[in-house]
Amino acid sequence: MHNFDYHAPKTLDSALALLRDKEDGKIIAGGMTLLPTLKQRLAAPSDLVDLATLSELKGVRRDGDEIVIGAMTTHADVAANADVQSLIPGLAHLASVIGDPAVRHRGTIGGSVANADPAADYPAAVVALNATIVTNKREIAGDDFFVSLFETALERDEIITSVRFPIPERAGYEKFRHPASGYAVVGVMVAKFGDKVRVGVTGAAGSAFRATDFEAALEKSFTPDVLLGIAVSPDDLLSDIHCTNEYRAHLVNVMARRAIAAA
């Protein structure tokens, strides 16, 4: 690990000021992604700005027909939250299957979303539930947030403060997990809002995407079996040492059907 200066600002404004003023400042949330990168000396920020002390970024609340999750809320807290469990059980389930207990008790939703790992779980929910990413500057629609592999619409001095999830009628999440890392090889969230259906897929491609063919079929009949004949093209999907794109394409369909069954 290279040397850096550590800051624990008391307010969001001072956090932003630090980010602006320091030569190469970086936010640290749970550190579950950032710390391994630093330890492997793959990144060498001059300053780390810790958001842990900003209590306004923590916690879950209901706001009308949305659930609002503070950026610094850990995966374990989301999984255990009574409102999330009763109003969007699929989201509570998603948070409960991220990594392992240690990761879930440190890692945060803000960090996960900002990092935009193609194999992370939350992006499926952001896309399927049409969530809004709230930052200190603006609100970004879920569909516009993930740009590509590890790349989001966030600007350098922009801090995610919360994520707003509309409460669906039903939603389910199913994940094919990589046993070494715990990440999603393929994860699919299916959400039903009245007669609209949104299907968010993570793990399969460079960034989370909507399976629009599935959505159209499910809007006619919200049952697993309507997806049986609908093949997913492997063309733009990831192929790596873990799984080929053909297998991922197949799994998108299987996971989607199981997510519907679980919804």
Contacts of 60 (CB under 8 A, 6+ apart): 67, 68, 69, 70, 73, 77, 78, 81, 83, 84
Site string for another protein, 42-81 (x = CB under 8 A): ----------------------------------------
Torsion over CA of 105, 106, 109 and 110, rounded to 10 degrees? 160
Measured CA to CA, the distance from residue 172 to residue 199 in angstroms comes to: 10
Whose Cβ is closer to another protein: residue 88's or residue 186's? 186
For position 27 contacting ligand FAD by CB under 6 A, the verdict is yes
Q: Which of 108, 97, 131, 138 is nearest to 208 (CA)?
A: 131
Site string for ligand FAD, 28-67 (x = CB under 6 A): xxxxxxx----------------x----------------
- Which of these segments, 79-87, 144-152, 216-224, 245-253, binds another protein (CB under 8 A)? 245-253
Contacts of 257 (CB under 8 A, 6+ apart): 224, 225, 227, 228
Whose Cβ is closer to ligand FAD: residue 51's or residue 167's? 51
Residue 108 DSSP one-character state? B
Q: Is residue 18 within 8 Å of 47, Cβ to Cβ?
A: yes
Site for ligand FAD in 120-179 (CB under 6 A): 120-122, 154, 159-160
User: What's the closest the beta carbon of residue 65 comes to another protein, in angstroms?
Assistant: 28
Q: What tokens does 55 get?
A: 């209590």
- Which of these segments, 2-10, 106-114, 137-145, 250-258, binds ligand FAD (CB under 6 A)? 106-114
Measured CA to CA, the distance from residue 218 to residue 194 in angstroms comes to: 12
Whose Cβ is closer to another protein: residue 147's or residue 231's? 231
Kindly report the backbone phi and psi dihedral angles of residue 140, in degrees, each rounded to the nearest multiple of 5, phi listed first. -120, 130
- Using DSSP's 3-state secondary structure scheme, residue 107 falls into coil
Whose Cβ is closer to another protein: residue 82's or residue 180's? 180
User: What's the closest the beta carbon of residue 255 comes to another protein, in angstroms?
Assistant: 8
Handedness of CA 72, 174, 207, 219 (dihedral sign): negative
Site string for ligand FAD, 178-217 (x = CB under 6 A): ---xxx----------------------------------
Applying CB under 8 A, among 131, 185, 197, 211 the residue interacting with another protein is 185
User: What's the closest the beta carbon of residue 117 comes to ligand FAD, in angstroms?
Assistant: 6
Site for another protein in 99-128 (CB under 8 A): none
Binding site for another protein (CB under 8 A): 1-2, 39-41, 97, 174-181, 183, 185, 240-244, 246-247, 250-251, 254, 258
